[in-house]
Amino acid sequence: MTTETTKPPLDAPDGVHASDAPPYVDVLQQTDFRLLMAERLTSALAGVGFATLIGYQLYTMTRDPLSLAWLGLIEAVPALLLSLIGGYVADRVNRKRIVLATVAINIFCMLTLMVLARDPERFGLAAIYSVVALFGFATGFFRPASSAFEQQVIPMRQAARGASLTATMWLAGGIAGGPLAGFSIDFLGIPTTYGLIALLMFIAAICFFLIPARPVPPPDADETIWESLRAGVRFVLRNQPLAGSMALDLFAVLFGGAMALLPIFATDILGVGARGLGFLRTAPAIGSLLVMVMATRRPPTNHAGRNLLWCVAGFGVSMIVFGLSRNFVLSLVALFFSGIFDGVSMIIREVIMRVLSPEQMRGRIASVSWLFIGASNELGAFESGLFAKLLGAAPSVMAGGTVTLLVVATVAATLPQLRQLRLPDAEI
């Protein structure tokens, strides 16, 4: 399938012919988009803060890397099992309502963890992991609906600029979220920090609530749920740019990611504590934010496939350097560059999915994408914790970076449509 035959016209909004398209309006002038950016900012503050907090809490309770491995697995299993169903629902039910309902569940989870953190010895790890599983359940429905809704808010002809701006807000929140969580843990304690995260989630929900709902395209009345799911998966697998970009993200983060092991590096290898952990988590976000700001002016989509491959390779090299480092500053630099490479690849992946996804299948395609991303993030956390237990944290990170380079070489050799992909019109 060639790019030319799959791209919709980029000079018209979804469902509007080019000749009937309204005059060009910059995406930042649209109230709905500004609300979306505010939601992304506060959601990122909450999400990164939660990841920093829960990882630190579990590792300080157990001093066992496997506690981090189980954390990733317990969150991943329900999210991955429900992702395709979540995509099916997102293509048939009001996407805004799905997002708000799942955020309400997440707020409940944070408040429950706040109570559990007041007496962790009494409630034990099982109670914490149970709440994390519920969080993963909500994620399985949240991700496809949120992604599909975001694609409806951003005009097609401004896909690259819109993706860069929303990602910039997410990364800005990520930059602040790690250190804020670290300082809050030190000065306010773990229970209060959970309460602050719940408040941030509530603010994000208010921003999202103010965005008007978008219509969901009518589904095929004769199509069963299994036929619908198969259609979404089949569309992705038959499209080299979509399948290849998702596979790169899956294997790069599954084997090359080090975020789940940062509590070990901060505590045992670098000796920088909770505040140092916050800065380690922030370093990749700073690198990504830098390229996101640049991409709002010069999106990297002209040679999209080539740029994606080089950036994933650069991410692997950065992870190898991080695994070798025993110096806090060098570790920050390695993570900073990993964020630069990941930021560019993130923009390209978002634009590929936005441009190549038919409107009536966006929820299902987003669910497949999140299936890859969820496997890479949460199962990657399990893989990292398991190999850290067997090999040590640093050797497991270096091995993962090497595997990432091998995956890039394989994809480049076997998927020529991805390698040659160009999306210059998405830069308008």
CB pairs under 8 A, 24+ apart, for 14-20? 14/152, 14/156, 14/359, 15/359
Q: Which residue has the tokens 């936005």?
A: 354
**pLDDT of amino acid 257:** 64
CA angle 180, 182, 183 (to 5 degrees): 65
- Of 277, 274, 259, 248, whose CA–CA distance to 393 is shortest? 259
* 95 assigned to some structural domain: yes
In terms of residue numbers, what domain contains 378?
3-14+27-427
Query: 21 in a domain, yes or no?
Result: no
pLDDT of res. 102: 94
381 burial (CB, 10 Å; 0-12 / 13-18 / 19+) is buried
Residue type, 42: T
- In one letter, which amino acid is 92? R
Q: What is the mean pLDDT of each run of 10 residues along the chain (428 residues)?
A: 36 37 59 88 90 86 76 77 79 88 95 90 86 89 84 74 78 80 88 94 94 78 70 76 77 68 84 81 82 72 80 90 90 91 82 73 72 63 72 83 87 82 60
313 in any annotated domain: yes
The two structure tokens encoding residue 262: 């940062």
CATH number for the domain spanning 40: value is 1.20.1250.20
Evaluate whether residue 197 is within a structural domain.
Answer: yes
390 vs 384: CA distance, rounded Å: 10
How many structural domains does the chain have? Answer: 1
DSSP string, 355-400: HH--GGGHHHHHHHHHHHHHIIIIIHHHHHHHHHHHH-HHHHHHHH
Residue 290 in any domain: the answer is yes
Q: How many other CB atoms sit within 10 Å of the CB of residue 189?
A: 13
Residue with tokens 């690259």: 160
Question: Would residue 386 count as lying in a domain?
Answer: yes
Residue with tokens 């706040």: 114
In a domain, 19, yes or no: no
Neighbours of 143 (CB within 10 A): 25
**Domain assignment of residue 189, yes or no:** yes
DSSP 3-state of 222? coil
> CB of 223 within 8 A of CB of 82?
no
**Rounded to two decimals, what is the model's pTM?**
0.66
The answer to whether the CB of 378 falls within 8 A of the CB of 325 is: no
Nearest-CA neighbor of 374 among 173, 201, 56, 140? 140
What's the pLDDT at 226? 73
Helix, strand, coil shares, percent, the chain, to 5? 85, 0, 15
Question: What pLDDT score does 383 carry?
Answer: 67
Please check whether residue 162 is in contact with residue 151, taking contact to mean a CB–CB distance below 8 angstroms: no
* Length of the chain as a residue count: 428
**For the residues of 5-68, what is the DSSP string, one character each?**
HHPPPTTS-TT--GGGPPPP--GGG-HHHHHHHHHHHHHHHHHHHHHHHHHHHHHHHH--HHHH
Identify the residue whose tokens are 């157990």: 62
